[in-house]
Amino acid sequence: MMVIGVKFCGNCNPEINTMELLSMLKETFPHYCFVTGSYSGLSCLIIFSGCQVDCATRPQIQGVPIISVAGYTIDKVKFMWEDLTNQLVKRLEGKNC
């Protein structure tokens, strides 16, 4: 089973609804386990920052692929809102976190 860690920023100035993105991922991958606050045994970690400042802290974990969502960007590549979920799905499906 894929265990996906989820880390959020403080959402002080959000450009996007990070909770909605997470909900869409949970609907797409009901067989994946999405966890917050625990970083052991992860297949991947998604860090959600609501804007491009990308102020979410990064936990010190090794060997775990990280996807960084910051506003309308994923790993510093800009997308339209409609494409954010699709890009996250591609990364999780291909395990190219």
User: 39-48: per-residue pLDDT in tens?
Assistant: 889 999 999 9
Most confident region among 9-13, 17-21, 62-66, 93-97 by mean pLDDT: 17-21
Q: 21 near 70, Cβ under 8 Å? A: no
Comparing 95 with 6, the larger pLDDT belongs to: 6
- The Cα 48–Cα 44 span in angstroms is 13
Q: What is the pTM of this model?
A: 0.92
The number of domains in the chain is 1
**CB-count exposure of residue 22 (10 Å: 0-12, 13-18, 19+):** buried
Residue % of the chain over a pLDDT of 90: 75
Residue 96 has pLDDT above 70, yes or no: no
Q: Which domain holds residue 24?
A: 3-93
Task: For residue 54, give every residue at least 6 positions away whose Cβ sits within 8 Å of its Cβ, in sequence order, or none.
Answer: 9, 68, 70, 71
Percent above pLDDT 70 for the chain: 97
